[in-house]
Amino acid sequence: MAHDEAQNALLNDTVAVSVGGVTIGGGAPIVVQSMTNTDTADIAATARQIIELAEAGSELVRVTVNTHEAAAGVGDLVRRVRDEGCTAPIVGDFHYNGHVLLKGFPACAMALDKYRINPGNVGAGRTRDAHFSTICRIAADNGKPVRIGVNAGSLNPDLVDEAMRRISGTPNSIPSRKPRSADYSVELGEASPEFILNGCMIRSALDSTELALSSGLREDQIVISCKSSSPRHLIQLYRDLARATRQPLHLGLTEAGMDLKGLVWSAASMAVLLEEGIGDTIRVSLTPRPGGDRREEVHAACELLQALGLRTFAPTVTACPGCGRTAGVLYQRLAEQTEAYVRARLPEWRGTYPGVERMTIAVMGCIVNGPGESKAANVGISLPGNDEDPHCPVFVDGLRTVTLSGTPEEIEEAFRGIIDTYVETRYSQASNVKSHD
């Protein structure tokens, strides 16, 4: 309980920022976001992917705005998405020329729900602050929030050069002006390169926040991120950042990688921070295979939050990992098909059957844990292992209701029917009203 209270205190300590009606920070539920990988100038393809990501559970969707063609089409893009009934806020990602595009295409500036600015690549030398301020003033004029997104790979080189000069000179710290809080500094001395990098990234974020405030934005219009591609580095970086600011934090590895590596590295870093109450919105930045499904990063983010008990997005399917006792591939096939079936039905279920995301389903492969795990789920099936009778008892809310047999296809169809019946009866509006009487 003490840990939960400390975690909630950290979450509630951040400023609440509204992005197109979605609240980030201030104790609001942690928000899942993703990013398209289509050419934004291709309005049809980008709109289609935004809708797919939103239906998969992405509560914010970011798009690249990098060319005149992309900026010119943003207004039409947003209209098309809204006409399809998708309300997910759309964020514009700007690098290098954001000040030019937002100034040159006011319809783009108005249509987007938030701007992402990387302070490391808005300009060089004296132009950096001017370009950054231009974007912030446009955001303020249009009533839009921004994310100040610092990346290790595109950090302002002037900060790093200054840090290196300080190491070899007499000053022993990098002072930073932290808005609305105590001063933040990094003691250098014998500090490691990683420690120095942390200090430079945090200083960039905090100084940029102060510049954004002086350019007309309010405290409740600024989200911050400081991203690295190293899990251990990210953990310490965000621990330091969380102590240094009250702004809500966007959490994620900047380049997680592909498949298993990307999933494990993202979970290894973000789970630690989320458990400590650090992070107000997350993205799992997975590299897709050619032609791969962009929604996988959304599914991963939702699963991470659900595993930690922070959010509930979809019914949980528990499945037996298999061992020498399991026979054939029926339990594997049924687990895979059940997972896919639930995911495909979920967009419809969410709108019709409130609370369905809390449902639990078990697909087990032998008698050892099969009946026990199946009884613990809302709907569970225990498939026969080696030398077991070829029958499949099904349990609903702990009670054995039916035993399935037949071909794999017949068992799969019957089990889907049992799931459908349970959803329709347990999570109907009438059942929900009755359960709360």
pTM exceeds 0.85, yes or no: yes
Other CB atoms within 10 Å distance of the CB of residue 194: 15
Residue 199: the pLDDT is 86
Walking along the chain (437 residues) 10 residues at a time, the average pLDDT comes out as 46 87 97 98 98 96 98 98 98 97 98 97 89 98 98 83 65 43 46 77 94 98 95 94 96 90 96 97 95 95 97 95 86 94 94 95 94 96 91 96 95 98 88 53
The CA-CA-CA angle for residues 232, 235, 240, to 5°, reads 130
DSSP state of 358: G
In order of their start, the domains of the chain are: 2-307 (3.20.20.20), 316-432 (3.30.413.10)
Looking at residue 123, its pLDDT comes to 87
> How confident is the model at residue 189, as a pLDDT?
42
Q: What is the pLDDT of residue 173?
A: 47
The pLDDT of residue 162 is: 76
User: Exposure pattern of 288-300 as b/e (b: 16+ CB <10 Å)?
Assistant: eeeeeebbbbbbb
CA distance 286 to 303: 14
- Residue spans of alpha helices (H) in 152-258: 157-168, 193-214, 231-244
Q: Which two tokens stand for residue 332?
A: 């594997």
In 342-424 the beta strands, taken as DSSP E runs, fall at: 360-364, 379-382, 392-396, 399-404
Residue 191: the pLDDT is 58
Q: Which residues contact 171 (CB under 8 A, 6 or more apart)?
A: none
Strand spans (E) along 57-159: 60-64, 90-94, 114-117, 146-151
Contact between 320 and 364 under an 8 Å Cβ cutoff? The reply is yes
Q: Distances from the Cα of 154 to the Cαs of 23, 117, 210, 231, in angstroms?
A: 28, 12, 20, 18
Distances 194 to 121, 241, 266, 312, 371 between C-alpha atoms, Å: 21, 14, 19, 36, 51
Q: What is the pLDDT of residue 196?
A: 79
Residues 6 or more apart from 399 whose CB is under 8 A from it? 375
Torsion of CA 194, 197, 199, 204, to 10 degrees: -160
pLDDT for 26 = 95
